[in-house]
């Protein structure tokens, strides 16, 4: 479904990927659109970007200011909101950076009472002092979107049990065995991650 949303993007649309890392998504979407940009809070990620898109990436903190004067037709916020200290301010800034009826594609972890251990990053945050990695209930996340001027158009949930198992195996490979080897496995529909298409009211 997320790919179907991306099929709605037109050639002349302006797109911003927030939390773009090294600009991989910007590079991918640039094959379809010329006006694709990215921002990230980590300058080292931007410096590692492909030279084809590096000039389209900017350093910025979504809770302070989005460093582009233009307004966008689409903003992508994938696996970022759960790390943000002031998520309400982040959504307010995103709202202000969208054109009328502009769209936000958001993905972030889902809160599952009694089973948040599905996520190694949540475990690290809660018990080992790692980076913030919050999980959202439907009421909480949808409420924040609504309060900040977004109308939810569609949503679904990704991440099945097999994908969770692979995530934990990859954590063991990386941190337990210090191996660079990682297993790739598609998320599939499931119970872990909110994937939401919302529109500026």
Is 125 a member of any domain?
no
Q: Domains in the chain: how many in total?
A: 1
Q: Can you give the CATH number for the domain in which 11 is found?
A: 3.40.50.150
Mean model confidence pLDDT for the chain:
95
Is the pTM for the entire model greater than 0.75? yes
Q: Assess if residue 165 is contained within a domain.
A: no
Residue 1 has pLDDT above 60, yes or no: no
Residue 4 has pLDDT above 80, yes or no: no
Give domain status of residue 91, yes or no.
Answer: yes
Residue-range definition of the domain harbouring residue 42: 2-111+132-159+190-200
Assess if residue 61 is contained within a domain: yes
pLDDT tops 90 at residue 72 = yes
Residues 6+ apart with CB under 8 A from 162: 185, 188
Please list, in sequence order, all residues whose beta carbon lies within 8 angstroms of the beta carbon of residue 197, skipping any fewer than 6 positions away: 5, 103, 104, 105, 152, 153, 154, 155
Has residue 95 been placed in a domain?
Answer: yes
Residue 24: band (very low, low, confident or very high) from pLDDT cuts 50, 70, 90: very high
pLDDT digits (tens, 9 = 90+) for 110-168: 999 999 999 999 999 999 999 999 999 999 999 999 999 999 999 999 999 999 999 99
């Amino acid at each position: 479904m997320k790919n179907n949303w991306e099929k709605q993007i037109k050639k002349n649309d302006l797109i911003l990927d927030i939390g773009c890392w090294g600009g991989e998504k910007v590079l991918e979407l640039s094959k379809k659109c010329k006006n694709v940009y990215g921002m990230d809070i980590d300058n080292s990620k931007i410096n590692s970007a492909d030279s084809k898109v590096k000039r389209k990436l900017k350093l910025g903190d979504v809770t302070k200011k989005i460093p582009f004067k233009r307004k966008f037709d689409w903003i992508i916020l994938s696996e970022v909101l759960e790390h943000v200290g002031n998520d309400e301010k982040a959504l307010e800034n995103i709202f202000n950076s969208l054109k009328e009826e502009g769209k936000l594609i958001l993905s972030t972890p889902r809160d599952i009472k009694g089973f948040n251990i599905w996520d190694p990053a949540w475990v690290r945050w809660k018990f080992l002092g790692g980076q913030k990695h919050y999980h959202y209930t439907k009421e909480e996340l949808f409420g924040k979107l609504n309060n900040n001027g977004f109308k939810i158009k569609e949503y679904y949930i990704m991440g099945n049990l097999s994908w969770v198992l692979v995530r934990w195996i990859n954590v063991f490979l990386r941190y337990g065995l210090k191996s660079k080897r990682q297993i790739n496995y598609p998320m599939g529909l499931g119970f872990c991650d909110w994937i939401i298409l919302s529109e500026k009211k």
